Chain A
């Protein structure tokens, strides 16, 4: 029995769909905004913006106060976790997208030669 390579695109898409469109304690718009912000996108409302931007740019500098602010604003630790996960995912998937684009362009150029 042969095992095929993972379908990374499908797996990345499933993660993105689940986090941004799936049911949760936080609203979809806030999760999407956090994902976009951590990927370098537009600012969000306070206190979410601080945390999402920090997660994107320099996550090791996230503070207790930033996380606690989002726990209070979002209404629960679970909701805050969803926003943290969305922001982390946004920063990772923008890198996935840019890297895969570079790979595809190089592969297409190589196939054309």
Chain B
């Protein structure tokens, strides 16, 4: 974490809260949560509201599907923290071996054609956004994905193109695999808002 104020908390209340959560959970509170407490009104409140809606709101996609999308956007943006965090949450709803296979090569993974086509769209959105055309979306429709479901996936893509960038810029500390798993359970219970 490059900003000391985020690491320790920007108010006495937040410092105590960070300390208490770390003590009760038995692990260092992850940097993503520290950012969520920091300068709340400026960024984390509106960002949290959109993230909660996109990741947990009504959608044709399961929570596991959406967390897998987030983990792949993180991979494409070289954000190890987010790959670990969202891969771990995805694995609460999808078999861990399938999450790992999809992270390694989603095209070869045994996932639905619709999810595969959507991930291909999200990959282009992340890495080659100016190349997106109507045809890019039409291919996803032909795979059986509705316009509403594609918009939901696009929201996940946009959000994690934001999150991974500030996570990398702030140099989030990497928890252990066990800590990612415990944090994933907390994130599933608490959500993003």
A and B: interacting chains: yes
Residues of A within 8 A of B (CB): 3-6, 8, 11-12, 14-15, 18-19, 22-24, 38, 51, 54-56, 58-60, 62, 64, 67-68, 71, 77-78, 80-82, 84-85, 87-89, 91-96, 98-103, 105-107, 109-110
Q: How far is the CB of B86 from chain A (nearest CB, A)?
A: 15
| Residues of B contacting A: mostly | helix
> B49 to A11, Cβ gap below 8 A?
yes
Least Cβ distance of A75 to chain B in Å? 13
Q: Inter-chain contact count A-B, CB under 8 Å?
A: 176
Given A98-B130, A98-B132: A60 touches B168 (CB 8 Å cut-off):
yes
Query: Assuming A3-B58, A4-B58, A6-B53, is B152 touching A85 (CB within 8 A)?
Result: no
Assess whether A103 is in contact with B125, with CB atoms less than 8 Å apart. Answer: no
Interface code B129-146, partner A: CB below 8 Å = 1, 0 otherwise?
110111111100100000
Alpha-carbon separation in the docked complex, A6 to B43 (Å) = 19
Determine the residue in chain B with the shortest Cβ distance to A107. Answer: B147
Q: A60-B78, A85-B42 are in contact. Are A77 and B5 (CB under 8 A)?
A: yes
